Structure 1
Amino acid sequence: MSFLPLRLPQVRLPQLPSPEARATMWRSLLTFNITRIVIALVLLLYLGVSMTDNGIRTVAVNTETCVVYLLAALVFAGVGTWWKRRFVLQLGCQIALDLAVISLLYLEAGGMRSGLAVLYLFPLAGAAILAPLVLALFAASIATLFLLGESVWQLMLLQRQPPLMQAGLYGAAFFAGVLVINRLAARLIKQEELAAQRGTDLRIQQLINGIVIADVGDGILVVGDDGAVFTGNPAARGMLGLDGEAASFRLGEAPGLEPVAQAFAAWLQAPMEGAAFVTVKPYQEDAGPLRGRRDQPAHLKLRFARVDTAGVALGRSVVFMQDVSAIENQAQQLKLASMGRLTASIAHEVRNPLSAIGHATALLAEDLHGPAEMRLLKIVGDNVARVNRMVEDILQLSRKVQPNGEPLQLASFLAELKAEFCETHDLADEIVYVGDPGKSAVRFDPLHLHEVLLNLLGNAIRYASRAPASIRIFPARDAAGRTELHVQDDGPGITPEVRAHLFEPFYTTSSKGTGLGLYLARELCLNNDAKLDYEYRFDAAAAGERRASGRFVISFAQPPQAASSGGPHYI
């Protein structure tokens, strides 16, 4: 014996209105009550008081009815304001009161000819808007039956000729008005609920976007066409060194953020795909709308995107920022880990066999004089020299020599360096331009700075056109007042792809390079509390435009007596 499962019929519960819709209904009921109070006052003045030859005379029945109606309207308004419960019950009582009062006044005024039948439209319209359709039609039927009954009563009992046609037309108008107003109100309520739901979804989406943007590692800034910063996520404030929720400011107002402002202005003039690389130098801003401080330079990768506002707002752009310094340092540390193990045994394991190979090559060169043999010996000798130079660079990295703490005068140092470099490479004196540093002094070991600049100039001479001033060395001041030394040539700039690996050990684009020159130069700068970086600066070009140009920049740690000295941005 088996039992079939008992399936109960599914009962679909009515969908309750949203909190926003309920609040709207209570506000509408309050408006309905206020309108009732105004109508009660007008009826009291119009029907309760009449002008005669002997003066003002009150109509007792009408006056009492209107006063009671006014007091009841005030009570209903108070109840609806302070006790927001039983909406349909309150609305039904109010509509019943309206119909009763209007019917009494209608009878007292003489029936259809008084014209007071139009007052029924007030409670019926309120019922059509606020009440269910059944309740609104019930109220309309009550009003219609009363008008028809009053007309029949006059016809049958009082032997009068009432306007039955007019009473019927009023009844038809009541039903038609209730249906039309109820449908329109229902549609408006649905639209309001839909708008409320969309607003809730939008607020939830905004909260989700806020969490994602606040937690994302890339910096995001919303900037106007005039450079005004409207908002930014915590990552952007951290990269720029802004303190907390900074007030609205413009990028151009902050000297420390000038590279970002220049990159954004250049993109606005010529929007293009790809990214821009800038370096935010150490700065401190305590005045004006900007509050920020940065103690270490940050190398940022900037990407720009235009917000399509379809003409409804001013131009907005989004700046995506990525701090590539951490990525570069991580890649550098990975290579240093393997290089450190190599450095420990490189003197005995590499230099001794390398010396033997070099000595054997020199002995063979004394006995072999054929062109083919000399070419092969030259290849061996060149590669031995290359490997020996790499070994020397690696060993030099492990020697952390304490730098000289005495201030170094740049004027005399750069003059001697220029003379030596031009003589070594047989260059005309006007090819290398050296800016006047004045009396600027920096804290840097002379031998270390000599090696760093020779390395940078050696790279520059390979790409420069050797025209007058094709190689430039000039000092400058950053936003924090620290002295910088720029090394620039007129050759093609370094691409962003190469820039991302420029200071990594063993990375080179030259077949004859070891990939350790720039890395060694940066390490020597760090050993002297200075910074070496390749930066993209924006220089004034022809026709008043600004174009990006790359250069190596050494940021010095100034001696105490020079750290507080001011000066122009470019000397």
Structure 2
Amino acid sequence: MSTDAWPKGNPAGRGFGPSWPLRGLDDAAAAPPARLWRLLLWVRVLLALALLAMEGVGWYHGQTGAWVLVLCALFVAWTVVGLALGPPAHTAGVWSPLWLLTVWADLAVFAALEVLAPGGLNFTPLFVWPVLLAAVLGPPRLALGAAAAGTLVLLSRAAAVDTLGGAAWLQAGVTGTGLFAVALLAAHLTTRLAAEAAAARHGEALARLQTEVNRLIARGLQEGIVVTDASGAPRYVNPTAARMLGVGEVGGPAADDPDVLAQAVGHTPAWQVLARWLAGAPPASAHDLALPLADGRQRRVRVQPQRADVGDGLTADVLLLQDLHALEQRIHTEKLAAMGRVSAAVAHEIRNPLAAIAQASALLQEDDPSAAQRRLLTLIEQNVRRLARTVDDVLEAARNPWSDAVTGSAGVLALDPFVDAVLRDWLAQRPQGARLQTSLAAPSAQVRFDPEHLRRVLVNLLDNADRHASASPGAIQVETHSNAHHAHLTVWSDSPPIGAPLRDHLFEPFASAHSRSSGLGLFLSRELCQRYHASLHHEVVTRAGRAGNAFVVSVPLSTPSEP
């Protein structure tokens, strides 16, 4: 982003910080603060009361006329009423009603007292007040206008009582110069203070914004982050670090609150071990620790400490945590991915023995085999065809995405009868009893899908469920239903929760939590679904009080107009 958005002279622009402007701060800084406005209005009331008291003493001794006392009393009443006035907007002009009722009204009262009041009293110092009020709260033109008006009043008074060039003229000139000096200096100081206040508010807003940005960044990291103060107490913990250190699921807004997470982490057994290690002057290099969890298990964590020191005794330790199990999983996945780069060549090599097996089976069929031998040969041929199609699909997935032309060549299937037939074949090989429950509720749903491909997807999901589900009744559930546009096939099992590191790569090739698994089943199943504009996704679903994993295949319905 460009840094042109920063105001010139803004200290935040010289350091690290976002380069976008914070709208609303400039307008807020230009308007006078309500607290300062109220303070000056109260000073105005006190000034009016002091003037009334002084003129009351003069009237009591016969030195001031009654009209002067009445004018001062009206001025006091007007200043009290003025307390109800709100601060002016930063766009208010010199002749706005608010300035007419304050600055210009005060000038008019002081001018009347200066020109008309008997007794020879000098009201010249009072002209400083409206000039100061205008300089502090209003635009510079208002302050200069008030100084000019006060100077004209003093000059007119001098013209009435003295000849040109006399002492009264000199006094009026000196006082007018002072009024202009007060206007300029007060306006300059006020502008500078307002700029500093705006910069402080801007910096505070930037600090809040940067804190929120840091929170969002830390929340999305797969590595844990713990920040401790000089005493070793945790002050900031991101959600990943909280999970590594044994903090259970925190719901609601507290799940992202670093203070709540830091407080929870501070009471875990894992933190006690980590704190003792940190207090023992750990090395700057990474170190592997086995941290105890509340349930008695241990979690192996790699800790990378870093010290932040800004001087003045302000220090903090930043701990970067990595779950070694997840790290080993990623390394294993990368190794399998590297192996996958040669899968196309291996698939080509598999084709030749498959062709030989198919040819040998065909030759044996010509030798008039017995019924038992014929069944075995048929089984060999079926599995050879399936394996050949798997090789073809792996090669095609490695070369190019599925095309719409291939999709259009697929036939239309009645979903429920097809699923029922696949389940019968699968149960013949893997009897389940009450462990498997079915609910086929899409009797009229028809989908465009190659039968062998849909069979392979469903069998893959059933095999996964059979491998991970418990032995209790209803541990595996197969369901179908449809809506206006899609048919949905769901395979649910009460299998253990899938860890976050694996869940993020669940449908990637060669990603598996088992060392003996290639991790191709879910990847190929999703690829086959996408070939027919279908989707395959994972959900965490609780049924009858049992948490489990559901894999849902969503297929567009085939309309009657389709061939």
Question: What TM-score results when the alignment is normalised by the length of structure 1?
Answer: 0.48
Q: Which has the larger radius of gyration?
A: 1
